Amino acid sequence: MRDFLDVRIARRQEEAEGIISLELVDPAGGWLPPFEAGAHVEVQIAPGLSRHYSLCGSPQDRRCYRLGILREPASRGGSAQIHQGFVPGTLIRISLPRNQFRLEEQAAHSVLLGGGIGITPILAMAWRLHALGASFELHYCVRSRARVAFVEQLAQAPFAERITLHVDEDGRRLDIPTLLKGPDAQRHLYVCGPGGFMEAVMGEGKRQGWGAQNIHTEYFAAEVDSTGSGFTVYTARSGQTLQVPEGQSIAQVLLEAGIEVPLSCEQGVCGTCLTPVLEGIPDHRDLFLTDREKAANDQMLVCCSRANSAFLRLDI
């Protein structure tokens, strides 16, 4: 069971084309729970609808949580409802901060890369590294000037001289091969942004010999592939045997059978629907579990993953 808290929207600001920021505070005026750089919260938008957003403020400042939210062009209701209805004074419910994008604070040097709205967790990392007096550089990549968010915050940050802005339409694209030249065991890379941007960075990192343990990633969205043969799922807690056809996710089949499934991103990114596997071999199609966790085959994300065996027994 997740722990949630009620917060009030103290401030809303239009940051860039299609991007707003929200400042969330304790309604009673107290400090909010601590969080780590790279952490996110789950925002309850409407009954049965929640989304995960990264905290982009300084972990040292517990007076408020700061979120940056892009209105997705193909929004399924989450970001659109926030942009339309989340205004100052509104009380909302969020989860306690959770972190799957942790910072290696002992690294000799950190390279922070944010593509588009992927800058949000990267900003929190920069604040933390600055507080530690650590060596780092931050690269913020956008397609156009209109999409540059947090302009005022970036200009006034005490680490502003460590920030490089790369704007495609200005002809100032990030030179990834040059940036990643010379991998070192004490040099860590953090990247968050659109899938194509992340794949380009990670691919170049691997070509240049960066170790997997030195490349840290967080995806905001992913394409869900529901192709493949059907299979059978047995739910250990409710004792139901269900058929999962091609084109339909395990989560969808479970919900249709009246089995409650916690969902948020529905794209294999956030980990909300992580479910223990008691028998069978999952076909992992998520971007949440590590390669080692996938190899163990003892848990899976039912919103997107399928089966490599004819039968799965799940602890749900």
pLDDT tens for the chain, 316 residues long, are 458 999 999 999 999 999 999 999 999 999 999 999 999 999 999 887 888 899 999 999 999 999 999 998 765 568 889 999 999 999 999 999 999 899 999 999 999 999 999 999 999 999 999 999 999 999 999 999 999 999 999 999 999 999 999 999 999 999 999 999 989 999 999 999 988 899 999 999 999 999 999 999 988 766 677 888 999 999 999 999 999 999 899 999 999 999 988 887 788 877 889 999 999 999 999 878 888 899 999 999 999 999 999 999 999 9
Can you point out the beta strands (E) in the chain? 4-16, 19-25, 40-46, 49-54, 65-70, 91-95, 109-115, 136-142, 163-167, 187-193, 215-219, 231-235, 240-244, 274-279, 282-283, 299-301, 306-307, 311-314
d(CA 113, CA 101): 13
Q: Which residue has the tokens 């223990």?
A: 276
Nearest by Cα to 270 from 301, 224, 293: 301
In order of 107, 147, 172, 204, 208, the CA distances from 176 in angstroms are 21, 21, 12, 7, 11
CATH fold for domain 231-314:
Ubiquitin-like (UB roll) (3.10.20)
- Global pTM value: 0.81
* Phi, psi of 162, rounded to the nearest 5 degrees: -90, -5
User: Between β-strands 299-301 and 40-46, what pairing exists: parallel, antiparallel or unpaired?
Assistant: unpaired
CB under 8 Å to 300, separation ≥6 — which residues?
274, 275, 277, 282, 284, 286, 289, 314
Q: Where are the domains of the chain?
A: 4-95, 109-219, 231-314
Q: What's the CATH architecture for 4-95? A: Beta Barrel (2.40)
Class of 109-219 in CATH: alpha beta
| pLDDT given for residue 290 in this prediction | 80
